[in-house]
Amino acid sequence: MPVDLVLPVMGGTSDNRVAVAVADPAHAPQLTRTAVDIARERDGDVIVLSVLVTERESPFSLFTDDVIIREFGGEQQEILDQVVETAQGTVPVRGQLLVSYDIVRALTDAVVKFDCDTLVIGWHERERPTEIVLGSNADRIVARAPCDVLVEKIGPADGVESILVPIAEGPHAKLAADVARAIALENDAHVHLLRVVSDGKIEAEGLLPEIADRIEPVQVWTEVRTGNAIKAVVDEASKHDITVLGSTRRGMLRRQLVGTVPQAVGRQSETTVIIARRAVGIRPRLNRLIRETL
């Protein structure tokens, strides 16, 4: 069984590579569709990643990754191959099965090795709120991945007609808008931009027209509300198929990775929610330096 499956699809360029991490077979197709929508709009390609987890200290250390995959990775390789086959015909897609005792390390290393600009991962909501925001692995990936990261909580998959994008200041709003635009273009959907401000504070409204221009030629509705941001966004999210939010920097240090509003919306909304975290600061520069030495 092949370790690296490459399907010959015309078009695309590695300059805009989108990686998607899959584990749950039930969620893998939708996560991959999100990655494909983004790659298509960017004229890029997709690499589907799955991690075969081994014990840190185990007999597996005696074998090469190829042997471990061949002897023990049959089920995961089959799932990976099915996902890749389903996605073929739109953008170049390939699958890669990784071997590691640490899922996060495997994925963060892979986005560097395969020169990925964006990583799409799933979010499995916990029954009880904890200091872990999205899940232990997701939190670590959001904090460490040297590329843009999209965390998707999958809701009902009945098609996409409308997408909600709550707008706030910060470096992640434009990424959220770009993701919404890519999904809307593929599904012939419209986008609702929502700006929630405190009573009497309507500053920075130049942000809405700027984001709206960025989403063209998709049909865009814009709205400004006053009041509690979490309540307003959660209430509005129920009226749309997908909500895409940029990370925010409010809240306690532990929660600065995502922000209180995106986290609350993700937990309370019953529809699909995508949280977008733009790679900012020193990590992207380090990533480029690492790429040049490989």
Using CA atoms, how far apart are residues 165 and 176, in angstroms rounded to an integer? Answer: 7
Can you give the pLDDT at residue 88? 80
Q: State which of 76, 105, 122 marks the end of a domain.
A: 122
Neighbours of 114 (CB within 10 A): 15
- The answer to whether the CB of 194 falls within 8 A of the CB of 230 is no
Q: What is the pLDDT of residues 96-150, one digit of tens each?
A: 888 888 889 999 999 999 999 999 999 865 544 443 334 567 888 888 899 999 9
290 within some domain: no
169 and 263 both lie in a single domain: yes
pLDDT band at residue 250, thresholds of 50, 70 and 90? very low
CATH number at residue 26: 3.40.50.620
pLDDT band at residue 203, thresholds of 50, 70 and 90? low
270 and 176 both lie in a single domain: yes
Q: Does the pLDDT value for residue 65 go beyond 80?
A: no
pLDDT band at residue 12, thresholds of 50, 70 and 90? very low
DSSP state of 14: G
- The answer to whether the CB of 93 falls within 8 A of the CB of 19 is no
Can you give the pLDDT at residue 91? 92
12 within some domain: yes
Residue 194: domain span: 155-275
73 and 189 both lie in a single domain: no
The percent of residues in the chain predicted with pLDDT above 90, rounded, is 36
Write out the two tokens for 63: 């074998």
Interval 66-83 mean pLDDT: 66
116 and 18 both lie in a single domain: yes
pLDDT band at residue 291, thresholds of 50, 70 and 90? very low
215 within some domain: yes
249 within some domain: yes
What Rg value do the Cα atoms of the chain yield, rounded? 19
40 or 138, higher pLDDT = 40
- Residue 280 contacts by C-beta under 8 Å, 6 or more apart in sequence? 171
164 within some domain: yes
Q: Does the pLDDT value for residue 10 go beyond 60?
A: no
256 or 279, higher pLDDT = 279
128 within some domain: no
Q: What is the pLDDT of residues 158-173, one digit of tens each?
A: 789 999 999 887 788 9
Can you give the pLDDT at residue 6? 38
Q: Does the pLDDT value for residue 69 go beyond 80?
A: no
266 and 183 both lie in a single domain: yes
* Average pLDDT along the chain: 77
Please report, to the nearest 10 degrees, the dihedral formed by the alpha carbons of residues 19, 17, 209, 206 taken in order: 80
pLDDT band at residue 3, thresholds of 50, 70 and 90? very low
Q: What is the pLDDT of residues 42-59, one digit of tens each?
A: 999 999 998 887 765 555
Can you give the pLDDT at residue 143? 83
Using CA atoms, how far apart are residues 269 and 159, in angstroms rounded to an integer? Answer: 17
189 within some domain: yes
- Residue 200 contacts by C-beta under 8 Å, 6 or more apart in sequence? 226
Beta-bridge partner residues of 118? 18, 148
81 within some domain: yes
Q: How many domains does the chain have?
A: 2
Say what the pTM is. Answer: 0.81
Q: Does the pLDDT value for residue 234 go beyond 80?
A: yes
What are the contacts of 133-139 at 24+ separation with CB within 8 A?
Answer: 133/254, 133/255, 133/257, 133/258, 133/263, 134/257, 134/258, 134/263, 134/266, 134/275, 137/103, 137/104, 139/257
